[in-house]
Amino acid sequence: MKKIFTLITFSFLLLILINNSVLADNKISKVDSISKNLRCLICQGQSVYDSQSEFAISVKDLIKKKIEEGNSDNDIYEYLKNKYGNWIMYEPELDKKTLLLWILPLILFVFGGLLIFKKAFINYNKNV
Amino acid sequence: MKFKKLNLVLILLITILVFFALYLGMKKQNLYTTDHIVNKKMPNLISTELFTGEEKNLSKLVAKEKFTILNIWASWCAPCRSEHKHLITLSSNNNSKIVGLNYKDKIENAKSFISELGNPYDHILLDKKGFISIDIGAYGVPETYVIDNTNNKIIKKYLGPIDEFILEEIINILNS
Amino acid sequence: MINQLGYYSLVFCVLFSLFIITKSTRAIISKNSKFDGIYYNLVFLQLFLVLFSFFCLVFNFIVSDFSNVTVYNNSHTSKPLFYKISGVWGNHEGSLLLWLLVLILFLFLFILNSKKSENGYKLLTIVFQEVIILGFLLFIIFTSNPFEYLFPTPTEGLGLNPILQDPALAIHPPILYLGYVGTSLVFSSSLAATVNKSINSYWAKHIKKWIFASWIFLTLGIMLGSIWAYYELGWGGFWFWDPVENVSLMPWLCLTALLHSVLVLEKRNSLKNWTVILSIATFALSMSGTFLVRSGILNSIHTFANDPSRGLFILIFLFILILLAIIIYFSFEIKNPNPSNNFFWLSKETAVLINNWFMMYFLSVVLIGTLYPIFLEVISNEKISVGAPFYHKLMVPFLIPFFIFMSIGPRLKWIKDKFTKINYYQILILILSLVISYLIVEYSGVKYLFSTILISTSIFLFYSSASDLVKKNIQFPQKISHFAFSLLIISILVNGIYSKEINSNMKVGDNLTFMNKKIEFKSINFEKQDNYNLLRGYFEITEEGKIPINFQPEIRIYDQPVISTSEADIKTNLLNDNFIVFSLLKEGEVFNVRYQQKPFMIWIWISLIMLAFGGSLALIKK
């Protein structure tokens, strides 16, 4: 029992070290990470990153240029949103219009949790 | 019992609402539309001219006329050929200037395209990398903007080639 | 001629449906519920008619009879026979006919299989199922007739989209439909049992088979779809959170919840209302999937020819079915649930509820994410996209508690487990591993705390489901499925977190270095095939101390219709998938080359097959 215990502890340690070293090694370029979050407007269901259409190539070049000019990720997103509307963003921003989109699932989760709690603790104890 | 009835009404209501919304949603177009760009200010556009090689500012080129028609085209784009004759028809209208924005093209190809099919454009500016097109919210070729020069606003934007129907609509706007 | 035969046998089928519905309704009302062989014969005849009609269409496709509009639009004489046949369901009309065929087949199997069930219940199930069948029949006949006549007959067809000419995709729709349609039977049967007041352990035992069967097919269907997306779409991903994919995931989540709750119903005669609600919801989700895909309301990679009247028909039909279900549920609902409906907090029942809780949460994320853009556009005219980042943000953090619950849940006993029986040291390991993760991350200055915790908990789950494999008090199919699921989770996470890729524009002769590897673009070759031309690229990847690997991805340019696709070359081994795909850029000489290293890819498919296998074991077992 003790043996397994140490074994597992060590394997977790190892895992974490591996995880960190592997991820630290993995530098994805900023252009890639930004263009992955953008919808290619003329290609159905593809991101700008995945697409090789002229539009997508231009957008990627533009992102590169903007980064070199010292723009932040947010500046670039804002710029593109201004030009093409929110539709270009794969991650909808949290504002008045998308509030429900983000919190409705969470509300449902809490609600479900309360139902189970009631069933397992309150009602059960009442009946017992 | 009362609670159950309330539940029923609530669920029915939600179902009906959801279905009604789906019904309305079905009637909408689900493709990319141009609504958000209409009534926006036209960004200032500076670029090299195709034939002269000079740096030009769009707003200075078109100051005299009431409208500008900005057409994005390229020699490699097949639909651009089909809409070219309509642009030539439009070029005879006196209320507007037609400006061509040549999209990611080779200069020789662009020139031979024009000499082959005729030149409807008052000016042709170059968009070598496609950045200008992004700046005005375009995403490909061909696309056509109608701009009101009095307040520098975009009145209308068309995706894809101009056809007879769009031609008539543009002429109506120009003559209004 | 064949066209007419196919069409009229469908029309005949309508009459049969109407006749069966009236006859069985009469029998139910008169309480003279003698269940004679006539229903069996009637449904058999119906099955025969639709099967006949289906074969007419298959025949038309095989002989390339272009006087049939469906064949003309979707086939071509130069296509291989296999794809001529799979073209039957590669389009809207044909796929609906297949759907209908499966609907009737399942009803027939149901009648065959439930000899021992009560007559009233059987008759009611037949009525409900026939209503669905009738709806689909009318839908096909009025809006999507696959036997439309075309004159003058063209000499050549338009061809099938080459991206769909693929073995995985050829069998993907039939398998998926078996899953979708299976839920219709669960729906009919649960409504019938509600009306008949026979929602009990016996019913659970009886319907469980259908739930398992649908679940297995749905699992396999989704898997085939994502395998196809993985190597055919050429982006190296297997799940894009595309609305059409979501639409198949939603019934799967619901069905998974149902699969667990029906066990509680079977063993403890509890969770009756909840099981019925889940049955209704699963079917509603399957149906709305059809609606969302066919109506063109969604913007997605998968496009069927859209026709507004079709969308409207399904919408109304779905609305009627759901309304019917709600009314039936509320009028026959079990009013006074017995006290056994409340569970001790530490019991298998509660564990199942927690499973359901998380499934419902994931479902609500996917559902809301898929539908919200539609609603927002209706209300405010604003278009938004909901993509992978949204789903990841809302789902991934919840995986951590989910994994922990799932590693404890299966070990609990029914009714009431003792607290002391819980493996303290296991929990201790978990807490300890979390603390260690935290400390290391804190002091090493590297900020990957979240992914570390995620991986740690998933390994914890894997460890506990693996050690469950040797436990005696857990049923074998369950052990296999849970183990497969934890393997799936680990593979997906590792794949998602540790995948590496590079993409670059290259000419022939160019080199590229990427993580100690040299990727060389050696040459290209032009080849001519039956119905396409192809450009084959030769790549070599060399790594110090290893044998060079050769890759030959292709760009295919199909004749009919003219479309070019990129075929990835994937080298699979147990640890990694190496993936190269290249595509043409406008200039002609330069290609965009993408190399990806995707760890544990094969294990995703293996674990999914294992998951379905575990389900099949449960199905076979008495």
pLDDT tens across C327-369, in order? Answer: 999 888 766 556 556 777 778 888 899 999 999 999 999 999 9
Length of chain C: 622
Q: A59-68, B152-161, C243-252, C387-396: lowest mean pLDDT where?
A: B152-161
Axis-axis angle for helices C92-113, C119-143 (nearest 10): 170
Chain C closest CA to B23's CA: distance in Å?
7
Across the interface, do A54 and B103 touch by the CB < 8 Å criterion? yes
- Three-state SS string over C201-270 comes to HHHHHHHHHHHHHHHHHHHHHHHHHHHHHHHHCCCCCCCCCCHHHHHHHHHHHHHHHHHHHHHHHHHHCC
For B160, name the nearest residue in chain A, comparing CA atoms only: A42
pLDDT at C561: 67
- At residue A52, does pLDDT exceed 90? no
- At residue C433, does pLDDT exceed 90? no
Q: Which of the four pLDDT bands, split at 50, 70 and 90, describes residue C110?
A: very high
- Whether B10 and chain C come into contact, CB under 8 Å, resolves to no
Contacts of B27 in chain C (CB under 8 A): 308
Considering only residues 26 to 55 of chain B, which have any Cβ-Cβ distance to chain A shorter than 8 Å? 32, 36
Across the interface, do C291 and B22 touch by the CB < 8 Å criterion? yes
- At residue C588, does pLDDT exceed 60? yes
Axis-axis angle for helices C348-380, A99-117 (nearest 10): 160
**Whole-number Å distance between alpha carbons of C237 and C152:** 44
Average pLDDT over residues B123-138: 90
- At residue C32, does pLDDT exceed 70? no
Chain B closest CA to A55's CA: distance in Å?
6
CA Rg value for chain B: 22
pLDDT tens across C210-225, in order? Answer: 999 999 999 999 999 9
- Whether C322 and chain B come into contact, CB under 8 Å, resolves to yes
Among candidate residues C532, C503, C542, C521, the one with its CA nearest the CA of residue C589 = C521
Q: Which of the four pLDDT bands, split at 50, 70 and 90, describes residue C42?
A: very high
* Cross-chain CB nearest to A54 (options B135, B136, B140): B140
pLDDT at C458: 83
Contacts of B103 in chain C (CB under 8 A): none
Contacts of C295 in chain B (CB under 8 A): 26
- Whether B12 and chain C come into contact, CB under 8 Å, resolves to yes
- At residue C53, does pLDDT exceed 60? yes
Higher pLDDT, C454 or C132: C132
Best residue in B139, B145, B157 to probe A by mutation, most A CBs within 10 Å?
A: B139
Chain C closest CA to B92's CA: distance in Å?
34
Across the interface, do B130 and A62 touch by the CB < 8 Å criterion? yes
The first and second tokens of residue C578, run together, are: 């190496």
- At residue B123, does pLDDT exceed 80? yes
Average pLDDT over residues C316-330: 92
- At residue C413, does pLDDT exceed 60? yes
Q: C163-167, C550-554, C609-613: lowest mean pLDDT where?
A: C163-167
Per DSSP bridges, beta strands C554-558 and C549-551 are unpaired
- Whether C350 and chain A come into contact, CB under 8 Å, resolves to yes
Per-chain mean pLDDT for chain C: 86
- Only one residue has tokens 């065929």, namely C101
Contact indicator for B85, B61 with CB cutoff of 8 Å: no
Chain C closest CA to B123's CA: distance in Å?
26
Per-chain mean pLDDT for chain A: 82
Other CB atoms within 10 Å distance of the CB of residue C509: 9
Q: Which of the four pLDDT bands, split at 50, 70 and 90, describes residue C164?
A: confident
Amino acid (one-letter) located at C258 = L
- At residue C457, does pLDDT exceed 90? no
For C448, name the nearest residue in chain A, comparing CA atoms only: A20
Across the interface, do C446 and A39 touch by the CB < 8 Å criterion? no
What is the interface pTM, i.e. ipTM, of the complex? 0.88
Across the interface, do C377 and B25 touch by the CB < 8 Å criterion? yes
pLDDT at C306: 56
Q: Which of the four pLDDT bands, split at 50, 70 and 90, describes residue C421?
A: low
Chain A closest CA to C344's CA: distance in Å?
5
pLDDT at C125: 94
- Whether A42 and chain C come into contact, CB under 8 Å, resolves to no
pLDDT at C357: 96
- At residue C277, does pLDDT exceed 60? yes
Average pLDDT over residues B107-125: 91
- At residue C589, does pLDDT exceed 90? no
Torsion angle of C-alpha atoms C51, C57, C58, C59, degrees rounded to 10: 110
Across the interface, do B30 and C322 touch by the CB < 8 Å criterion? no
pLDDT at C210: 93
Instruction: Please provide the DSSP assignment of C257-308 as one string.
Output: HHHHHHHHHHHHS--HHHHHHHHHHHHHHHHHHHHHHHTT-S--S--PPP-H
- Whether B18 and chain A come into contact, CB under 8 Å, resolves to no
* Cross-chain CB nearest to A42 (options B36, B131, B140): B140
The first and second tokens of residue C156, run together, are: 């050549």
**Whole-number Å distance between alpha carbons of A33 and B22:** 34
Instruction: Please provide the DSSP assignment of C563-601 as one string.
Output: EEEEE-EEEE-SSEEEEEEEEE-TTSS-EEEEEEEEETH
- At residue C171, does pLDDT exceed 70? yes
**Whole-number Å distance between alpha carbons of C227 and C219:** 12
Contact indicator for C103, C134 with CB cutoff of 8 Å: no
- At residue A43, does pLDDT exceed 60? yes
- At residue C12, does pLDDT exceed 80? yes
Among candidate residues C282, C314, C288, C317, the one with its CA nearest the CA of residue C179 = C282
For A53, name the nearest residue in chain B, comparing CA atoms only: B140
pLDDT at B32: 57
Report the neighbours of A using a cutoff of 3 or more CB pairs below 8 angstroms: B, C
Contacts of C319 in chain B (CB under 8 A): 15, 19
Percent of chain C with pLDDT over 70: 90
